[in-house]
Amino acid sequence: MRFYDTASAEVRDFVPLTPGKVSLYYCGATVQGLPHVGHIRSAIAFDQLTRWLEYRKFRVTVVRNVTDIDDKILAKSAASFEPDFEEGPDDIREEEWWALAYRYEQAFLNAYDTLGVSRPTYEPRATGHIPEMHSLIQRLIDRGHAYPALDDSGDVYFDVRSWNRYGSLTRQKIDEMQGAADADPRGKKDPRDFALWKGHKEGEPTTASWVSPWGTGRPGWHLECSAMVTKYLGTEFDIHGGGLDLRFPHHENEMAQSQAAGHAFANFWMHNGMVTYQGEKMSKSIGNTVSPTEMLEIASPRVVRYYLGQAQYRSILDYQPTSLQEASAAMERIDGFVARAVRALSDGGSLLFGSHGEVPDAFAAAMDDDLNVPQALAVLHDTVRAGNTALTAGDNAAARAALHSVTDMLRVLGLNDVAAPARDDQADAALGVLVEAQLGARAEARATKDWAASDAIRDTLAAAGVVVEDGPDGASWTLKRG
């Protein structure tokens, strides 16, 4: 396997630190609002990575954090107590910060579960790891890389000029860094120094502060991840992931403070690309956003997952008005073959369960090559076409092999694990009898060249969501998806 490492800016051979095991940390949500499409794309990308590593027989430990204390969380909670606060669909009047954070955390979990993102091994909250953060801050102070604020505010800052590798992740020089001119200089030796600990400010709730050696306060954003990943994965681990927008300043600062503390930290840094809207950055201010909830109102969870996971993880994923329709059509082709094969082959539905062996070599080669999902999907669709050809030719052995390969590839990509309505076997059986009766009547109409009756039956079935396909062995049917 070879993955692109942001820190070295090259695709490198992946060799885990411990044979047979992989340690993966990726940045989860700051739970101050509902999940947006960028959050979900990132989660799906690292879920695909996890599934592929597991397919390759690695034991994977996954940590995804929850940032449940943050400036934006406090600000949104404070706004809910204001007399002129207008309650909206995403807000609740007079909501404490911790209640707001928990509510949005549940919204994220619901979105992840709906779209088949596997639960991580551990999902720590920042507020549950304050002692570990205190220890890391003290270690940085002792090593000469951090200092209490010069203005007695109770803040503690990381001294960026004390660490000569600061900027190496994003290949920037300190004096030329993004936003350097706008950095707040108060209490700092250098405007670019960043907060490890934030002293309690007047007007902030006392429940949002903890006692520390430097005064009551709360942790800085960057510090949280370093403390949590070290607790669960150790001072050196295999992969650190997240969205491309987190490279700077979050991951740059995280790497600097961890390495300055004497930790080797991440062996690979992997970043997924952004989601754009018709070629432009999504922005609420100009109204060109689409949320996971809105996508799920248009298409099924499997279709949404297919769309959000179809691009190579490092590339930009551009949303177009037809994107979900195209993803739906792709899933219909796959599901149509699976349904047709299950009906045609003697052992029926049992073919769909369990692993049947290895995925095709070309699929494996694509996934090993920096998780090249587009190429892997091409192999999946080629296999579907070959399977349909085999069914038409009556080659059951080839059709069975194709079905096994398709279901295994779907499982690796997580497309068989999204949330789905509970099945009613009795209703399914009744539907099958009724549709087969209609197809029988249609076959009789075609035999007598009553094309009007034949077309009418087909149109009626189509209106009910039943897709009919004619073949040399008669008609087959599937339910329209998404």
What is the mean predicted confidence (pLDDT) over 72-85? 90
Task: Identify the pLDDT of residue 447.
Answer: 86
Statement to judge: residues 289 and 192 lie in one domain: no
What is the mean predicted confidence (pLDDT) over 57-61? 98
Q: Which of 273, 291, 323 delimits the end of a domain?
A: 273
Residue 428 in this model has a pLDDT that exceeds 70: no
Q: Are 31 and 101 in contact (CB under 8 A)?
A: yes
Statement to judge: residues 158 and 238 lie in one domain: yes
Task: Identify the pLDDT of residue 481.
Answer: 55
Statement to judge: residues 116 and 23 lie in one domain: yes
- Least confident range of 243-247, 293-297, 350-354: 350-354
d(CA 239, CA 226): 13
Confidence of residue 417 (pLDDT cuts 50, 70, 90): confident
d(CA 466, CA 177): 58
Statement to judge: residues 169 and 53 lie in one domain: yes
**Cis before 83? omega within 30:** no
- Least confident range of 159-163, 274-278, 322-326, 450-454: 450-454
Among 41, 33, 30, residue whose Cα is nearest residue 277: 41
Statement to judge: residues 328 and 349 lie in one domain: yes
Adjacency order of strands within the sheet including 21-26: 59-64, 21-26, 236-243, 265-272
Residue 382 covered by a domain: yes
Q: 222 by DSSP, 3-state: which?
A: helix
- Least confident range of 3-7, 412-416, 441-445: 441-445
* CATH number of the domain within which 36 lies: 3.40.50.620
User: In the chain, how many domains are there?
Assistant: 3
- Nearby residues of 371 by Cβ (< 8 Å), 6 or more positions away: 3, 45, 48, 49, 52, 312, 313
- Least confident range of 183-197, 253-267, 390-404: 183-197
Confidence of residue 421 (pLDDT cuts 50, 70, 90): very low
Confidence of residue 418 (pLDDT cuts 50, 70, 90): confident
What is the mean predicted confidence (pLDDT) over 273-292? 88
Task: Identify the pLDDT of residue 301.
Answer: 96
What is the mean predicted confidence (pLDDT) over 284-305? 90
* Domain boundaries, position 459: 429-479
Statement to judge: residues 332 and 262 lie in one domain: no
Q: Which of 387, 412, 437 delimits the end of a domain?
A: 412
Summarize pLDDT for 130-144 with one digit per residue, the tens: 999 999 999 999 999
Which of 73-82, 224-233, 275-284 shows the highest mean pLDDT? 224-233
Q: Are 304 and 292 in contact (CB under 8 A)?
A: yes
Give me the sign of the Cα torsion angle 253, 256, 261, 267.
positive
Residue 417 covered by a domain: no
Give the residue, 475 or 137, on which the prediction is more confident.
Answer: 137
- Least confident range of 114-118, 204-208, 390-394, 429-433: 429-433
Q: Are 64 and 26 in contact (CB under 8 A)?
A: yes
Which of 357-361, 417-421, 422-426 shows the highest mean pLDDT? 357-361
Task: Identify the pLDDT of residue 206.
Answer: 95
What is the mean predicted confidence (pLDDT) over 94-119? 96
Statement to judge: residues 144 and 50 lie in one domain: yes
Residue 424 in this model has a pLDDT that exceeds 60: no
Burial of 172-206, coded b for 16+ CB within 10 Å and e otherwise, reads: eeeeebeeeeeeeeebbebebbbbbbbbbeeebee
Statement to judge: residues 245 and 296 lie in one domain: no
Confidence of residue 278 (pLDDT cuts 50, 70, 90): very high
Residue 424 covered by a domain: no
Residue 423 covered by a domain: no
Task: Identify the pLDDT of residue 422.
Answer: 45
What is the mean predicted confidence (pLDDT) over 32-51? 96
Task: Identify the pLDDT of residue 2.
Answer: 98
Statement to judge: residues 237 and 326 lie in one domain: no
Task: Identify the pLDDT of residue 241.
Answer: 98
Q: Are 223 and 124 in contact (CB under 8 A)?
A: no
Which of 179-183, 299-303, 447-451 shows the highest mean pLDDT? 299-303
Statement to judge: residues 433 and 320 lie in one domain: no
Statement to judge: residues 267 and 350 lie in one domain: no
Residue 358 covered by a domain: yes
Q: Count other Cβ atoms within 10 Å, centred on residue 406.
A: 25
Summarize pLDDT for 200-241 with one digit per residue, the tens: 999 999 999 999 999 999 999 999 999 999 999 999 999 999
Residue 355 in this model has a pLDDT that exceeds 90: no
What is the mean predicted confidence (pLDDT) over 21-35? 96
Hey, what are 431's tokens? 């539907």
Four-point Cα dihedral 327, 329, 330, 332, nearest 10: 120
Residue 9 covered by a domain: yes
Residue 356 in this model has a pLDDT that exceeds 70: no
* CATH number of the domain within which 308 lies: 1.20.120.640
Q: 255 by DSSP, 3-state: which?
A: helix
DSSP letter assigned to residue 352: G
* C-alpha triplet 332, 335, 340: angle, nearest 5°: 120
Q: Which of 355, 387, 412 delimits the end of a domain?
A: 412
d(CA 374, CA 435): 36
Task: Identify the pLDDT of residue 426.
Answer: 56
Confidence of residue 335 (pLDDT cuts 50, 70, 90): very high
- Least confident range of 97-106, 158-167, 429-438, 454-463: 429-438
Residue 420 in this model has a pLDDT that exceeds 80: no
DSSP letter assigned to residue 122: B
**CA-to-CA separations, 257 to 164, 213, 253, in angstroms, rounded:** 12, 19, 6
Residue 430 in this model has a pLDDT that exceeds 70: no
Residue 420 covered by a domain: no
Give me the sign of the Cα torsion angle 428, 405, 23, 256.
negative
Residue 327 in this model has a pLDDT that exceeds 60: yes
Give the chain's mean pLDDT: 91
Residue 422 covered by a domain: no
Statement to judge: residues 360 and 406 lie in one domain: yes
What is the mean predicted confidence (pLDDT) over 114-127? 97
